[in-house]
Amino acid sequence: MVAWKKSRSRIGRHEIHVPQFAEGCRRLRETVREVQGCVVLDGEGIEKYVDELLAEGRNRRYIETLLNHRHLRMLLSSFDYDEAERWTHEDLVEIVEVYGAMVERELSKRFPDKRFVVEIEAETDEDGDEDFRVTCFQISDSVAE
């Protein structure tokens, strides 16, 4: 469960005012699915890859963490470059928090019997550019996960 509950109220505002964000919300709703017990954010054509990872002995947590991480730069690639250049650190934090809350909301709606962790991490690349990563995975009482 994410700690940024205030972000839930901002999801609708972003969906209305930023067309690319609304598109991202729509795509997330359409592509989240369960494959071999793994909940993946983008399940289109992923079945074979999940099967291969399971055959290698990878567990659900590994697979979901690998497949369910999104970099903010990738999420924002459809935005106008000049507009994105004007965004402040605070703007980026708000966008990534809203995206994390959106993921948490969608997972809770689609899989009410499952529990998830949605993590947000800040990263700085070798050029000093800041990026954020959103990762989600199921949690359970099973040690094997």
Among 34-38, 87-91, 94-98, 103-107, name the one with the lowest average pLDDT: 87-91
Q: Which of 9-13, 14-18, 90-94 is most confident? A: 90-94
Helix ranges restricted to H, the chain: 6-17, 19-31, 47-55, 60-67, 72-75, 81-85, 89-110
Q: Confirm whether 20 is domain-assigned.
A: yes
Number of structural domains found in the chain: 1
Q: Which domain holds residue 73?
A: 6-139
By the 10 Å C-beta count (0-12 exposed, 13-18 middle, 19+ buried), 76 is classed as buried
Q: Confirm whether 41 is domain-assigned.
A: yes
- For 33-69, how does the pLDDT look when each residue is reduced to its tens digit (9 = 90+)? 899 999 998 867 889 999 999 999 999 999 999 999 8
- Among 113, 86, 133, 106, which residue's Cα sits nearest to residue 24? 106
Q: What is this structure's pTM?
A: 0.76
Does residue 2 surpass a pLDDT of 80? no
Q: Confirm whether 122 is domain-assigned.
A: yes
